[in-house]
């Protein structure tokens, strides 16, 4: 028996070795599965970050539009100098304690906005995205079809995901009543019997004040003052209009957003002698003072009219200046009752219409020339509405090396 001593020890060592091998294999498998799980989780986090960036950029397109030639989207977001980029504080609004993947030091996100067609004559719109379009497409809606590509990319702990979609912008129609003049009051400053206001086939020249009947010319009570023949057709003249606000606050704010996005929201008077100083889909004067436009400047055109909103202050056009579009003064409380919030004098012409809310007024006619002519085309006005992905255009794509 003495020759068999130590056999148990050898057997025990062998068994322990086998168990350790099995244990190490199990640990390796668990570790591999944990790493795979982590990679999958991080990949999902990168996808979620990319999707959030895409969604925020689409929201901005819907709220601020597709830009203009002179105010294009940046080459790439984030860009602290551009108002067209998503707000990082809103994009990554999460509980850091429970969303550890989204540590700001471990995440990156990017978005790109491009038009869906080239700039050449008759360029065919894109039907499929390729990253080469990043360098060949404009950063605004150059072909004016309300379609833009948005590319988004996110990186979380070194894992990248990217996606792209063609976005359709839906404008929001804004309805103004089709009056040649609608105001609290109206007066002319000329004694002749020439036509100063041609109301055409509009709803007419209508005021809110309750002065003398319009056929008493002039009435001299500060309500509606003009002489025979100065407004045609005469039967369209009415008083006693009972609604003080033409637009509700939401519609007005939507129009102001258009001006802000297009860079045509002015807090000081732009140059009145420059051609096109008031040109734009929506131009806002919020100056608190009177802005005078004269000389022979032309603003907008008969084919492409615009909307001029007087948020504060007054608007005066003199000389031989022309404005094609609608001039609107919301005149919100504390509203002004001045008769000259919109003033078209001299040989200047407003082709479209003039509207002043509450008791503010419109003046015309110092030189006996036709100053205001109704044009129904100027009332086709829209603001930014919504934006959404065109069906079957969204897809996940290969991430770019952006470093």
Q: Give the DSSP letter string of 238-307.
A: E-------SS-HHHHHHHHHHHHHHT-EESSPPPSSSTTTT-SSEEEEEEEEEEEE-TT-EES-SSS-EE
Segment 167-178, tens digit of pLDDT: 999 999 999 999
Task: Indicate if the pLDDT at residue 191 is higher than 80.
Answer: no
Contact indicator for 68, 150 with CB cutoff of 8 Å: no
Task: Indicate if the pLDDT at residue 138 is higher than 70.
Answer: yes
Q: How far apart (Å, rounded) are the C-alpha atoms in residues 314 and 321?
A: 16
Measured in whole angstroms, the distance separating CA 200 from the mean position of its chain's CA atoms is 33
Report residue 13's pLDDT band, with 50, 70 and 90 as the boundaries. Answer: confident
Q: What is the pLDDT averaged over residues 65-83?
A: 94
Report residue 157's pLDDT band, with 50, 70 and 90 as the boundaries. Answer: confident
Token pair of 326 as six digits: 């609608």
What does the domain layout of the chain look like in residue ranges?
A: 46-173+386-397, 181-370
Strand partners, 343: 316, 363
Least confident segment among 103-117, 169-183, 297-311 = 103-117
Q: What is the pLDDT averaged over residues 51-57?
A: 95
Q: What is the pLDDT averaged over residues 27-45?
A: 66
Give the pLDDT of residue 66: 94
Q: Look up tokens 């025990």; give the residue.
A: 12
- What number of CA atoms fall less than 13 Å from residue 244's CA on the CB side? 11
Q: What is the pLDDT averaged over residues 129-145?
A: 94
Task: Indicate if the pLDDT at residue 149 is higher than 80.
Answer: yes
Give the pLDDT of residue 4: 58
Contact indicator for 297, 321 with CB cutoff of 8 Å: yes
Task: Indicate if the pLDDT at residue 25 is higher than 80.
Answer: no
Alpha helices by DSSP H, 65-148: 88-91
Task: Indicate if the pLDDT at residue 164 is higher than 60.
Answer: yes
Q: How far apart (Å, rounded) are the C-alpha atoms in residues 181 and 206?
A: 6
Which segments of 159-242 are extended strands (E)? 159-174, 181-183, 185-188, 197-198, 205-207, 224-225, 231-232, 237-238
Task: Indicate if the pLDDT at residue 355 is higher than 90.
Answer: yes
Q: How far apart (Å, rounded) are the C-alpha atoms in residues 293 and 10?
A: 106
Give the pLDDT of residue 104: 73
Q: Torsion angle, CA of 318/324/325/329, rounded to 10 degrees?
A: -10
User: What global pTM score does this model have?
Assistant: 0.81
Q: What is the pLDDT averaged over residues 264-272?
A: 89
Task: Indicate if the pLDDT at residue 64 is higher than 70.
Answer: yes
Question: How does the average pLDDT of the chain come out, rounded?
Answer: 87
Report residue 216's pLDDT band, with 50, 70 and 90 as the boundaries. Answer: very low
Contact indicator for 323, 300 with CB cutoff of 8 Å: yes
Segment 305-347, tens digit of pLDDT: 999 999 999 999 988 899 999 999 999 999 999 999 999 998 9
């Amino acid at each position: 028996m003495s020759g068999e001593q130590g056999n148990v020890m050898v057997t025990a060592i062998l068994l322990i070795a086998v168990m350790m091998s099995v244990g190490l294999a199990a640990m390796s498998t668990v570790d591999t599965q944990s790493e795979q799980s982590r990679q999958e989780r991080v990949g999902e986090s990168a996808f979620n970050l990319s999707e959030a960036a895409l969604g925020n950029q689409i929201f901005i397109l819907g709220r601020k539009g597709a830009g203009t030639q002179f105010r294009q989207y940046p080459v790439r977001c984030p860009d602290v100098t551009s108002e067209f980029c998503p707000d990082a504080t809103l994009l990554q609004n999460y509980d850091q304690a429970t969303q550890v993947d989204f540590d700001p030091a471990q995440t990156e996100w990017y978005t790109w906005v491009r038009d869906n067609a080239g700039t050449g004559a008759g360029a065919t719109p894109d039907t499929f995205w390729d990253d080469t379009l990043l360098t060949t497409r404009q950063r605004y809606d150059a072909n004016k079809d309300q379609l833009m590509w948005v590319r988004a990319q996110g990186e979380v702990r070194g894992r990248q995901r990217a996606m792209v979609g063609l976005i359709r912008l839906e404008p929001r129609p804004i309805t103004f009543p089709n009056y040649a003049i609608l105001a609290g009051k109206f007066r002319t400053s000329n004694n002749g019997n020439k036509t100063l206001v041609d109301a055409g086939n509009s709803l007419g020249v209508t005021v809110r004040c309750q002065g003398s009947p319009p056929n008493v010319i002039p009435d001299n009570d500060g309500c509606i003052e003009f002489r025979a023949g100065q407004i045609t057709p005469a039967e369209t003249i009415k008083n006693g209009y009972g609604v003080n606000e033409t637009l509700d606050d939401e519609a007005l704010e939507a129009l102001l957003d258009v001006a802000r996005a297009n860079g045509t929201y002015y807090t000081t008077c732009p140059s009145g002698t420059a051609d096109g100083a008031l040109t734009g889909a929506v131009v806002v004067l919020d100056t608190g003072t009177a802005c005078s436009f004269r000389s022979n400047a032309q603003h907008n055109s008969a084919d492409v009219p615009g909307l001029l909103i007087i948020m504060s202050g007054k608007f005066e056009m003199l000389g031989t200046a022309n404005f094609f579009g609608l001039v609107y003064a919301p005149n919100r409380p504390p509203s002004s009752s001045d008769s000259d919030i919109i003033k078209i004098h001299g040989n200047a012409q407003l082709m479209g219409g003039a509207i002043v809310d509450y008791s503010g007024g419109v003046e015309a006619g110092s030189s006996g020339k036709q100053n205001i002519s109704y044009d129904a085309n100027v009332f086709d006005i829209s603001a930014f509405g919504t934006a959404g992905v065109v069906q079957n255009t969204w897809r996940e794509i290969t991430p770019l090396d952006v470093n």
